[in-house]
Amino acid sequence: MTVEQNVLQQHSQKHQQTLLNQLREVTGTTDVQLLQQALQVSNGDLAEAVAFLTEKNTKVPQQDEATYYQTAQITNDRYISVGSQADTNVIDLTGDDKDDLQRAIALSLEESNRAFRETGITDEEQAISRVLEASIAENKASLKRTHTEVWSDSPNPHDRKRQENCPVGLKNVGNTCWFSAVIQSLFNLLEFQRLVLHYSPPARMQDLPRNQKEHRNLPFMQELRHLFSLLVGSKRKYVDPSRAVEILKDAFKSSESQQQDVSEFTHKLLDWLEDAFQIKAEEDREGEKPKNPMVDLFYGRFLAVGVLEGKKFENTEMFGQYPLQVNGFKDLHECLEAAMIEGEIESLHSAENSAKSGQEHWFTELPPVLTFELSRFEFNQTLGRPEKIHNKLEFPSMLYMDRYMDRNRDITRIKREEIRRLKEHLTVLQQRLERYLSYGSGPKRFPLADVLQYAMEFASSKPVCTSPLEDVDTTALPAEGSGSGSQSRVPPDLPMHPAPRHITEEELRVLEGCLHRWRSEVENDTRDLQASISRIHRTIELMYSDKSMMQVPYRLHAVLVHEGQANAGHYWAYIFDPHQQQWMKYNDISVTKSSWEELVRDSFGGYRNASAYCLMYIDDKKPFLIEEEFDKETGQMLSGLDKLPPDLKEYVEADNKLFVREMEEWDALQATEPCPPDNTASQHDLEYMEQQSPTGDSKHLQEDTERAISKAAAEHDEKSPEALLNTVRHAMKVEYTRLLRFAQEDTPPERDYRLQHVIVYFIHNQAPKKIVERTLLMQFADRNLGFDERCKSIMKVARAKLELIKPDEVNMEEYEMWHQDYRKFRGTTVFLLIGLELFLKKSYVEALMYLIFAYQYNKELLAKGPYRGHDEELIAHYRRECLLKLNEHATVLFETGEETEVNAGLNIMNELVVACIPLLLVDEMEEKDMVAVEDMRNRWCSYLGQEMERKS
């Protein structure tokens, strides 16, 4: 074998192993033979291999039985009891044997009725069996699909109906959550939305396309218009983007990793749109230089100024998405600074040229939509695969680009040099401070002030001696003459505590004086160093805060998030709605309200696998980007179908009619069945259960549910529709037992299980049994539950079970009240954590607001029961300390005597301290609060030179 052949073979083996690793991570399948079979069948196409494995429904590994506790309480209640015993078996919808599935489908209603009579199944279970029949039939149909369907449509079209004014989601049609994240971010740019909707195809589009670009781009443009029109005016909760995705498939068919496809997607999408608009522009402006709105919207220019082998150069380049490296940087500005300077640039600022090479980038023209691509993936040469960088990277909601503009080149260079000098000085100060805080020459080091304090305590200790017989248990001593007694004897003059053996009063006085003086000097030096370091940090932070360097504001419009590893994962987008002043989370079909705090938690990275990979900022001085369109004649804002041109309006109306007809047919079908009770509250609860929780634990909730299902299914092998009902019962029993165990554990506050699951909170507070059972049933009815057919089927059983619950069986007002209390408990937790974090950062003004709200909400909860909220004394302590810190700061400012500082101190006192003192006086039982208020009053009284009358 030649060297070339050997290299090729090694490369092929590495490539094969990379594909296997990617496939294992995407599908969760661990069977190597099955993975290799999938790659062989798909000829190495990763997407087709994933679809093959998903459609084969590979078996889920059984969970460890030891992790679950068993309870056995039989109930014939209409509810699925959380403690009921379910020892019957379940249809294995995850197996590879299609004959089993065919046999299950072949069970007709007549056979089911016969089975019910033989086994004593109730009428309720017969109703659920009808749901199972439809579910099994759908499972059969899914085996014939050519792609993976991640989201399964609810059979009830009313579940898929759009709520008024709620944004429309996008269905995931097979590992395409990246498509949804990008498209939704662009769609919510209203100027971009208008350009797409009002795009008119070239007049010659009916003719044969002239080239491959036209053959691909123009049809894609048409499908994108259709998709955008549905996002505007559809009556559906989410729409299907399959047609647009199909056109994209050819461009993304490769054996490369999924993440590489995603990073290229926006580039290719904008290229296609640019081409489509270019064709139209050339047709509209014959003889003139065509103007392309896509270029105007997304592309800017920068000037590259540099030295190459001693020769200076300048050239202008165009850019679209601007790539930024993440590794080694703490925030977006650091990334940008590094990207704008490459190599050695000292020669740029000197009169003499040198042989050094380097360049600077200066933006000459920024686009209205400024997109940063964060490079969080790098190839590991040792492992032979890409890896994700999980480092934390902060970015602001408002970004000022002045420092990177060519017109500010001179002033920016001066400021960069000043920052460089300050950072050098900062490094020296930090090294000096470290010598004070980590003192010693050995492996263990301690703060020098503590070392001196310990020495002072030792020197001051009095030697107190004791007899060995008084200090040692004589029964534990060995017998005399055993040979080891002499080794265990305690010297008679050994002191009880370490202390000097011999020291005169004069020596002690001199030593204590020296140690006390040295300790004071060390503490003062430490404080001075810390203050200097803080001042330098603040100076660096404010370096670009003057108005002249805040003239180019860009506001954060969208953040595209990736969760997972380099070769696989999930994608979603946070998009700001400027009209509601609200962040929204677009997660495929789910569109929910969010917050800046949740965005930060998911996007900054550093402590979980989720992090931002793309940031989209918009020019804050160009409001047309996000402004709604108005009718020229009436002046009314256009909304819904009124925003659409005639052809798209007709298209959406036709689709809406189909959907309305589907709902009418469903209603007519349901009219032939026993009428189920109104499930409005059920739907409301589903939305509550599906939303990301404040602590980001919804994924864990889903995983826990799936584990319970796997545990229940693993213990049964009977293949009949009614067995799924028993599986749901058994799975709920497993899950409830796990949660009951958590509720019974005595855990510290930092591991409060009430925050991890609503049912643990309910158990702690002795919620009614029906409330607990209905809530647990909601967990198993979550639409997001699992991607395999078994979980989907069980989800449908649980949903059918919910529909059979009569209104008089549960007091829905009480049910909603319990869930509102839990939402308030979670909200209180968020306020408390943010308040404590701000307190530790010494941001006392902001911290005080959060702690006040946390205390108030917590007090309302505790009024209903001792376990409804958190430790009241803890919140009161930090609220009080925060107010005292602010008061201390205000008095320090007042004592300076400088007019500006005195006014600032009085403002803090009047607007915060005085305003918050009544909150501490409300609860007179809190003695520490009363003392704190008295201290604050006395402090200000001393300044006024008069006594303030005490309030009775």
Could you list the active site residues?
A: 177, 562, 570
Closest CA to 148 of 64, 83, 53: 53
Task: Output the six-digit token pair for 747.
Answer: 């855990």
Closest CA to 318 of 337, 332, 299, 333: 299
Closest CA to 864 of 754, 767, 772: 767
Distance set, CA 889 to CA 310, 840, 882 (Å): 55, 16, 11
Any residues with CB less than 8 A from the CB of 274 and at least 6 apart, and which? 292, 294, 295
DSSP string, 62-122: PPPGGG----------SS--TT---------TT-S-HHHHHHHHT--HHHHHHHHHHHT--
**φ, ψ of residue 302 in degrees (nearest 5):** -135, 155
Q: Which residue has the tokens 């002191």?
A: 495
Other beta carbons within 10 Å of 679:
19
Any residues with CB less than 8 A from the CB of 164 and at least 6 apart, and which? none
Q: CA 624 to CA 618: how far, in whole Å?
A: 11
Q: Are 183 and 193 in contact (CB under 8 A)?
A: no
Any residues with CB less than 8 A from the CB of 866 and at least 6 apart, and which? none
Residue type at 940?
W
What's the alpha-carbon Rg for the chain, to the nearest Å? 35
Q: Which residue has the tokens 């005292």?
A: 884
Q: Are 266 and 185 in contact (CB under 8 A)?
A: no
Q: Are 252 and 265 in contact (CB under 8 A)?
A: yes
Q: Are 860 and 824 in contact (CB under 8 A)?
A: yes
Other beta carbons within 10 Å of 497:
9
Taking CA 219 as the corner, what is the angle to CA 218 and CA 225, rounded to the nearest 5 degrees?
Answer: 90
**End-to-end CA separation in angstroms for the chain:** 100
Taking CA 818 as the corner, what is the angle to CA 781 and CA 709, rounded to the nearest 5 degrees?
Answer: 25
- DSSP letter assigned to residue 403: G
Closest CA to 246 of 210, 219, 278: 219
Q: Are 498 and 459 in contact (CB under 8 A)?
A: no
Q: Which residue has the tokens 């059920």?
A: 682
Q: Is the dihedral of CA 57, 61, 67, 73 positive or negative?
A: positive
Q: What's 718-773 look like in SS3? A: CCCHHHHHHHHHHHHHHHHHHHHHHHHCCCCHHHCHHHCCHHHHHHHCCCCHHHHH
Residue type at 754?
R
Q: CA 725 to CA 209: how far, in whole Å?
A: 56
Q: Are 874 and 859 in contact (CB under 8 A)?
A: no
The b-or-e profile of 534-567 (16+ CB within 10 A means b, else e) is: eebeeeeeebbeeeebeebebbbbbbbbbbbbbb
Q: Which residue has the tokens 């505790």?
A: 862
Other beta carbons within 10 Å of 590:
18
Q: Are 355 and 344 in contact (CB under 8 A)?
A: no
